[in-house]
Amino acid sequence: EQELADEDDELLQARPPIVTVMGHVDHGKTRLLDAIRKSNVIAGEAGGITQHIGAYQIWTDHEEIDRAITFIDTPGHEAFTAMRARGAQVTDLAILVVAADDGIMPQTVEALNHAQAAGVPIVVAVNKVDKEGANPAKVRQQLTEYGLVAEEYGGDTMFVDVSALSGLGIHDLLDAVLLTADAGLDLRANPDKDARGVAIEANLDKGRGAVATVLIQSGTLEVGDAIVAGTAYGKVRAMFDENGDPVTEADPSRPVQVLGLSSVPRAGDTFMVTEDDRTARQIAEKREAVQRNALLAKGRKRISLEDFTKALEDGKVETLNLILKGDVSGAVEALEESLLKIEVDDSVQLRIIHRAVGAITESDVNLATIDNAIIVGFNVRPDLKARQAAQREGVDVRFYSVIYAAIDEIEGSLKGMLKPEFEEVQSGVAEIREVFRSSKFGNIAGVIVRSGTITRNAKARVIRDGVVVGDNLAIESLRRFKDDVTEVRTDFEAGIGLGKFNDIQVGDEIETTEMKEKPRG
Ligand code: GDP
């Protein structure tokens, strides 16, 4: 946007919209991308696009004019959000795929929250309308609750019934994409300058070296250009389109495979053309040094609930962004409703940018990173990748097992008075590797302690796939071999008996907690 404002209006030319397809698993994203590919009115060869290069462009007849649309060929919001976490937003518009027989599912909501958080307009493809039991009207009605109101109901979101299987409605869907883009987006770029853009996919090829698919955002990329992409640099040796055909130049919104980089850039790395390859190399080396230093200066801290309260006390106006995750939809809804009812000063705003059922995932942490949000987990935990990402990015993840406690704490923070109270801190995590049946003690979990220390008198909970399945449990027995012990440290094995609680399985985690007085300020 800034770039557009800086450009001379006369130099700007219309560019095709760049579209990402999102939606719940199995709702037909991949099939839809196939059907769109096949609908290309200017197919080079029979069957059209033959290569997977991470994105493709098709042409469609729109109001009697042939127009291009670029599709990101990796469906789902994970890639989209991972790129945003790098600071790159390539998507102009999202197609939200919803299967008409299934209706709204958890990842449907997740996808639309991610698109909305990025400010990306949505066109809804109601898929599988060929199936028995398809209920496209119900999909429209369900999505109304999430702010997507169909045009036919007086809203401004376009819904198109499609069958990715038969090809029905695909042309209408492409029309809807162009209409939505034309109505709400200023998609223009200056093609007459050195290219800039984003790497969306890259790999190391045995014969060809680093192969990167880049999406041009402005300017025109030419063979022979010196470029720097993230910390990779080089001269463009050759370029290929999605048919595998060589091309000599690529203009805005065009995806191309580029050969000639020194190393493999990461998805989301931006690239630009430089004066010569020496300059490209210098920039790349400087970036590498900066990255190294950033790693050394680790411990980047993002906002925590405590920081927020402190900022309020200092008289700053703040918005608190929250991501809510819970084990059941009723809890997530109750939490959201109660939070939105909290009355606060005009200077304070609470925004719930995403809510969903299930374990805390890496894509939740990515979203929290981008929008500087706090994650609230109700009876759920992060999976391993999410835990590592949260630690790396310094995202505040708070756990609650009582709704009232969550509301109380957040309300306190919003009112600038976070009470110095007791907080629950994790003292140990153990993974269950075997379950022994014992007539005397009930089931015994054979565990290995993964972090911290498990102590005999701690409170325990059992977590399965990130969701709490047993809470507030006492450790009735803690043994190493035949000996009763009071604590077991990281990397040691032990047997844990949870008394009457017998619902344990291999792969579950046992987490122990202690109450500690919270530090103030
Ligand atoms: P994705 O996980 O969202 O990428 O879903 P896929 O594209 O892999 O589709 C999941 C399943 O639904 C596959 O078995 C598809 O053949 C099927 N499918 C996709 N679109 C349609 C459709 O329009 N009609 C019918 N009947 N089946 C479809």
Angle at Cα 358 formed by Cα 355 and Cα 362, nearest 5°?
80
Residue 46 pLDDT > 50, yes or no?
no
State the amino acid at position 404 in one-letter form. Y
Residue 429 pLDDT > 70, yes or no?
yes
Q: Atom 9 of ligand 1 has which residue's CA nearest to it?
A: 28
| Residue among 193, 183, 200 nearest 3 (CA) | 193
CB within 8 Å of 337: residues ≥ 6 apart: none
* Residue 213 neighbours by CB distance under 10 Å: 25
pLDDT attached to residue 300? 47
76 Cα to the center of ligand 1, angstroms: 14
Look up residue 435 and give its two tokens: 């379950």
Atom of ligand 1 nearest to the CA of 168: 23
Pocket of ligand 1 (CB under 6 A): 23, 25-31, 75, 127-128, 130-131, 163-165
58 Cα to the center of ligand 1, angstroms: 21
Residue corresponding to tokens 């937003």:
89
Average pLDDT value for residue range 128-137: 96
430 Cα to the center of ligand 1, angstroms: 39
Q: Atom 22 of ligand 1 has which residue's CA nearest to it?
A: 128
- pTM exceeding the 0.90 threshold for the entire prediction: no
pLDDT attached to residue 388? 84
Q: CA–CA separation, 344 vs 186, rounded Å? A: 37
Average pLDDT value for residue range 74-94: 81
Name the E strands within 196-345. 196-205, 209-218, 221-222, 226-229, 232-240, 246-247, 249-250, 255-261, 270-274, 318-326
Residue 100 pLDDT > 90, yes or no?
yes
Average pLDDT value for residue range 74-102: 86
pLDDT attached to residue 44? 53
Task: Let me know: does 510 contact 470? Beta carbons within 8 Å.
Answer: no
167 Cα to the center of ligand 1, angstroms: 12
Please indicate whether residue 106 or residue 234 has the higher confidence score (pLDDT).
234
- Can you tell me whether residue 234 is helix, strand or coil? strand
Residue 228 pLDDT > 50, yes or no?
yes
Atom of ligand 1 nearest to the CA of 166: 23
163 Cα to the center of ligand 1, angstroms: 9
Atom of ligand 1 nearest to the CA of 24: 3
- Can you tell me whether residue 169 is helix, strand or coil? coil
pLDDT in tens, 373-400: 899 999 998 988 898 888 888 888 998 8
Long-range Cβ pairs for the range 294-300 (8 Å, 24+): 298/392, 299/394, 300/393, 300/394
Tell me the percentage of the chain whose pLDDT exceeds 90: 51
pLDDT attached to residue 4? 63
Task: Let me know: does 199 contact 239? Beta carbons within 8 Å.
Answer: no
pLDDT in tens, 458-514: 889 999 988 888 888 999 899 998 899 999 999 999 999 998 888 899 999 999 988
Residue whose CB lies within 8 A of the most ligand 1 atoms, among 22, 27, 31, for a mutation test: 31
Residue 417 pLDDT > 90, yes or no?
no
Q: CA–CA separation, 171 vs 513, rounded Å? A: 56
| Residue among 497, 491, 486, 507 nearest 436 (CA) | 497
Atom of ligand 1 nearest to the CA of 97: 3
pLDDT attached to residue 415? 77
* Residue 486 neighbours by CB distance under 10 Å: 10
User: Of 155-164, 179-188, 282-291, where does mean pLDDT reach its minimum?
Assistant: 282-291
Strand order in the sheet with 159-161: 55-62, 65-72, 18-23, 93-99, 122-127, 159-161
- Can you tell me whether residue 122 is helix, strand or coil? strand
Atom of ligand 1 nearest to the CA of 164: 23
Q: Atom 10 of ligand 1 has which residue's CA nearest to it?
A: 26
Task: Let me know: does 162 contact 32? Beta carbons within 8 Å.
Answer: yes
pLDDT attached to residue 136? 97
DSSP element (H, E) containing 68: strand 65-72
pLDDT in tens, 169-212: 999 999 999 999 999 898 999 999 999 999 998 888 888 889 99
75 Cα to the center of ligand 1, angstroms: 13
Residue whose CB lies within 8 A of the most ligand 1 atoms, among 20, 24, 25, 26, for a mutation test: 26
Task: Let me know: does 53 contact 255? Beta carbons within 8 Å.
Answer: yes
326 Cα to the center of ligand 1, angstroms: 28
Average pLDDT value for residue range 347-352: 80
- Can you tell me whether residue 336 is helix, strand or coil? helix
pLDDT attached to residue 299? 42
127 Cα to the center of ligand 1, angstroms: 8
Residue 225 pLDDT > 90, yes or no?
yes
| pLDDT band per the 50, 70, 90 thresholds, residue 521 | very low
257 Cα to the center of ligand 1, angstroms: 28
Q: Atom 2 of ligand 1 has which residue's CA nearest to it?
A: 26
Q: Atom 14 of ligand 1 has which residue's CA nearest to it?
A: 26
40 Cα to the center of ligand 1, angstroms: 20
Angle at Cα 54 formed by Cα 242 and Cα 232, nearest 5°?
105
ipTM of the complex in this document: 0.99
| Residue among 159, 168, 131, 134 nearest 35 (CA) | 168
pLDDT attached to residue 280? 93
